[in-house]
Amino acid sequence: MDLKVHCPSATCRATLTVPITAAGHVARCPLCHATFQIPSEADIAEQTASSWIEDDIDDLADEIDNEWQQRLKEEAQRRAEQEDLQRQQTAKVIEKIMATNKDLTHEQAMDMAVSGAVTNTTQTAPQAAPPRPLQPPLANPKKQPSQP
């Protein structure tokens, strides 16, 4: 098995393939002739594990970011739908006001609809409360003495 190492020289950074038996020894870059120590097998294993952990953390962070983006998108869509529904309901109220008050301008009707100052003729009649269910007769309110 071979190891892939990078030349530490800032100007070179060449990728070199060396035998596993060279781990822990000094090597010379064939391109820039810089000398460096090849990491030991334990260091390589640790670097590999660290890179896996970093990759997992990066993947998890991306997943969380994507979930938040999706939540934000859904919330924006929900709010837009609510605002659209509110606009439609306000438009219906304005139409009712203008139908019953022909002398009002659209702006006046809109002001009335938004402020909630709707006349009795445009409001729906309040519904009667449903009848109360019959209550069972109360038990004898006098306290019964307890039996010993």
pLDDT in tens, the chain (148 residues): 788 888 988 898 899 999 988 989 999 999 999 999 998 888 877 777 777 888 889 899 999 999 999 999 999 999 999 999 999 998 898 888 888 888 888 888 888 887 775 544 444 445 556 665 555 555 555 555 555 5
In a domain, 94, yes or no: yes
In a domain, 70, yes or no: yes
In a domain, 53, yes or no: no
- Work out how many domains the chain is built from and give that number: 1
Helix (H) or strand (E) holding 52: helix 41-100
> Structural domain of residue 85, as residue ranges?
63-119
In a domain, 138, yes or no: no
In a domain, 147, yes or no: no
Is residue 5 within 8 A of residue 18, CB to CB? The reply is yes
Measured between alpha carbons, how far is 53 from 55 in angstroms, rounded to an integer?
A: 5
> What's the whole-model pTM score?
0.40
Residue type, 117: A
In a domain, 97, yes or no: yes
In a domain, 4, yes or no: no
- Alpha helices, DSSP H, located in 1-40: none
In a domain, 110, yes or no: yes
